[in-house]
Amino acid sequence: MPLKTSTVHQLKKEMELLPREVLIDHCLRLAKYKKENKELLHYLLFESIDEDSYIEEVKTDIETEFKEINTDKFIYVKRSIRRIHKMTTKCIKHSGKKETEVELLICFCKQMQHCKMRLRRSTVMKNLYERQLINIEKALGKLHEDMRIDFEDELEEIKAGL
């Protein structure tokens, strides 16, 4: 017999009825089962308080990871870039803020430009880079006008690269 799933609305209604202690127990139980749940819970409890320092920390991690890429063979470079991209998108997903998304994707693209290997020769890497530019443009469209202007200059710089 397959397990049933509920809609988010149904879950929210039911959670509002639960006592605080039971809700805490459920959250901890969720955190035990999946690493992603634990990471999201960590972000919500500790990192979301100061979004700017979270962004800087993730940017530093991205830069460090790009510096540590094994450039012996191109396949290692591709794997490493995919892994870094996966980490970046996970951090973006945790935040859920478009400003964070734009900043982290711009950082990722800049680091990709400065990568030691030529990425133009790989269609996969070129497509990954172009998809990130599209994602940045989509996120920019949802930002406030003042913020959008600040990021558009950086976007033009990285569009010229790769």
* pTM of this structure: 0.86
In a domain, 3, yes or no: no
* pLDDT of the residue at 1: 58
Structure tokens, 33: 């089962």
* pLDDT of the residue at 10: 85
Looking at the structure, tell me whether residues 83 and 99 fall in a common domain.
yes
Q: Which of 159, 162, 154 is nearest to 59 (CA)?
A: 154
Looking at the structure, tell me whether residues 76 and 31 fall in a common domain.
no
| Spatial separation of the C-alpha atoms in residues 100 and 104, rounded to whole Å | 6
Mean pLDDT of each 10-residue bin along the chain, 162 residues long: 78 86 88 87 88 94 94 90 96 92 94 80 89 93 84 85 64
In a domain, 1, yes or no: no
Looking at the structure, tell me whether residues 37 and 83 fall in a common domain.
no
Distances (CA, A) of 143 to 12, 44, 67, 102, 103: 28, 22, 31, 9, 12
> How many domains does the chain divide into?
2
In a domain, 117, yes or no: yes
Looking at the structure, tell me whether residues 104 and 27 fall in a common domain.
no
* pLDDT of the residue at 162: 59
For 67, counting Cβ atoms within 10 Å of its Cβ (0-12 exposed, 13-18 middle, 19+ buried), the class is exposed
Looking at the structure, tell me whether residues 55 and 25 fall in a common domain.
no
Looking at the structure, tell me whether residues 76 and 153 fall in a common domain.
yes
HSE-CB at 95 with a 13 A cutoff on CA atoms is 22
